[in-house]
Amino acid sequence: VLDDNGEVWTWGDDTLLQLGHGDTRWAPSNASSKLPGESMKEKKPPSGTSASRPLVTYEPFETHLRFTPTKIADVPTDFDQQHTQELATNKSGLAPESIFAGPSTSFLVINDTPYDHVPHDEHQDAVYACGDNERGQCGRSLQYPQQTFMRVRLPKRIQVQMLRCSSGHCAAWVRRVGHTLGGPDEGPVRDWGIYTWGENTAGKVSTTRRHRDVVIPPLDVTKNFPRGAARWLAVGPHGTAVIVSELVSP
């Protein structure tokens, strides 16, 4: 839930890191949580993940569930160094614009505009994902089967209108900021686009890439839809649907 103060509250199953509290599998060790035969030396997180303290900790053998809403950080704590510097420089990420949740993957849409004086209708969004990534649902790479918040590899200069996920693949409806999508051979250009990524069984992400089981980074599939105004985006277990108001010839 995104409240009026721009704070995000999550609850429920956290076994795949989908609640956005950091890597709760690697809480700082202490004597009371040692298992027989373990060293007293503090554990290190897996390579490439943040060593920062998770916002929620679980006791050994405790089920990773949150029964009450728990606030995540104002800015996700596990960005890689490059993105942390970008956020600090741009003063962005202080409050998400919107949130989306799939079955086991969560997304934050953050205002990534470099300057404070840019009109809101010209702002740029960045999308960050956490949770289940076994089939590329987090839209970045297959490096981690579950991940803390990292940036989805969508293009820059976009505004996210809607984002939807099934258990294996995702789609985003975006508006391009500053110019329109589409090439000169496509007829009238449009200011919106559809990107899909994740598990590609039966071509549900891309029919032109049926030979690929997983599609990453997000793929621009806008040209598969008629020109006109996009109205709605839906994602199911077996495909993606977009409602478009087609152009009417005079």
**Would you kindly state where each structural domain of the chain is located, as residue ranges?**
9-246
Segment holding 89, helix H or strand E = helix 81-90
User: How many Cα atoms are found within 13 Å in the side-chain-facing hemisphere of 208?
Assistant: 7
Is the distance from CB of 19 to CB of 56 less than 8 angstroms?
A: yes
Longest Cα–Cα distance in the chain: 78
Per residue of the chain (250 residues), give pLDDT as tens: 888 887 889 999 999 999 988 887 754 444 333 444 444 444 454 444 444 566 788 778 778 888 889 888 655 544 444 444 444 444 444 568 899 999 999 999 988 877 666 777 778 899 999 999 999 999 999 999 999 889 999 998 899 999 999 999 999 999 988 755 544 444 445 789 999 999 998 888 887 777 789 999 999 999 888 888 899 999 999 889 999 987 766 5
Kindly report the three-state secondary structure assignment for every residue of 12-71: EECCCCCCCCCCHHHCCCCHHHCCCCCCCCCCCCCCCCCCCCCCCCCCCCCCCEEEEEEE
In angstroms, the CA 206 to CA 108 distance is: 24
Query: What does the pLDDT look like over 224-244, one tens digit per residue?
Result: 888 888 999 999 998 899 999
pTM: predicted TM-score of the whole model, two decimal places: 0.77
